[in-house]
Amino acid sequence: MAAFTLAHLSDPHLPPLPEPRLADLAGKRALGYLNWTRNRHKFHRRDVLDTLVSDLHTQVSDHIAVTGDLVNLALEAEFPSARTWLESVGPPDRVTVIPGNHDAYVRATKHRFAETFGDYLRSDGSPQDNALQSETFPFLRRRGPLALIGVSSSVPTPPLMATGWLGRSQLDALGRLLAQLSAEQVFRVLLIHHPLRSKSRAKRLTDSPQLLALLKQYGVELILHGHDHIHSTMWFDGPNRSIPAIGVPSASSIAHGHTPAAAYNLFAIERDGGAWRCEQTVRGINDAMRVREIRQTRLI
C-alpha cells in the first residue's frame, strides 16, 4: 500500500488587509493595524502565498492541514476572502483547518472562524467518535490511516500578547479522545496553532504543562503547529517514545530578519512491519521566487 501523504502549511496571514472602518480600530486592533501598515505588509505577500500553494498542488498529497492565522485583525471583511482562499487550497474533505491567535484577535469576532470554516473543522467520524465531542474543539477527522485531532489554542488576548490557551473543558475532552484512540492502530496527528514550548512569554501556550501530561500518558505520533513562523522540530515525551512536534514558516512570508521564507511540509506516512514510518519533506521559496526542496528527514 502506498504511503499516505499529509501536507502542512500555516500562518498565511492572508494579504492584502481590507481597509478597516474607523470603528474597527479600537483597542488591540489599532496597534495591530499600525504594525501591519508599517511593517507586516512588507513581508506577507499574496504572490508568495499563491506561488507556494501552486507548488503544493503539483505534489501528490492526500490531505492538507492548515494550522491557523488565516486572517490578521479578525475584521468581518477578512473572513469571506479567507474562505475563498481556503476553497482554492482544497475542498473540506481534503483540507483540515484550525484557528490561530489572529483568527480570534478580538472578542467581537472570536466565533467567526468556526462559523466561516465549520465544514473544514467538523468531526466526521463514527457515532462513537462524535459522542465524545460536545463542542467544536477538539475535533476528530479520519483520513486513511490518520486520525487528525484538532484543538483550538485561539483566544483573544490583551495588546502586545499572543498567548494561547486550551482550557480545562477542552483538555478533559481531549483526554477522553486520546484514551479512545490509544487502543486503535491509527496514526494520530495533533493540530494546534501554538508550539508546546516557547522562549517568549508573550507567545506561549499557557497550559502547555497540562497538555504535555496528556501526551505523555496517551501519546500521538505527530504534532503540527504554526505561530512562530520558523522551521522547528521539537520532541516531547510519549508513553512509549518521543513525539516529534513540527512547526513551519508563514505561508505568505518573504525572508526577513530571523524569519525564513514561506515553506510547507509533506509527511509520507505508512506502516512498516509492526510500526509506523513517517518521512518529512520540506519545500520552500528561494530568493528567485521558486519553490524547491529544502530537506528530507525520517521522523519515525
Q: Which CATH architecture has domain 4-298?
A: 4-Layer Sandwich (3.60)
pLDDT, mean of residues 257-267 = 96
pTM: 0.96
**In this predicted model, what pLDDT tens digit does every residue of 35-61 receive, in sequence order?**
999 999 999 999 999 999 999 999 999
- What ranges do the domains of the chain cover? 4-298
- Cα 145 from Cα 187, distance rounded (Å): 6
pLDDT confidence band for 124 (50 / 70 / 90): confident
pLDDT computed for residue 129 by the predictor: 56
Residues 6+ apart with CB under 8 A from 250: 10, 11, 12, 13, 44, 69, 226, 229, 259, 262
Residues 6+ apart with CB under 8 A from 294: 263, 282, 283, 284
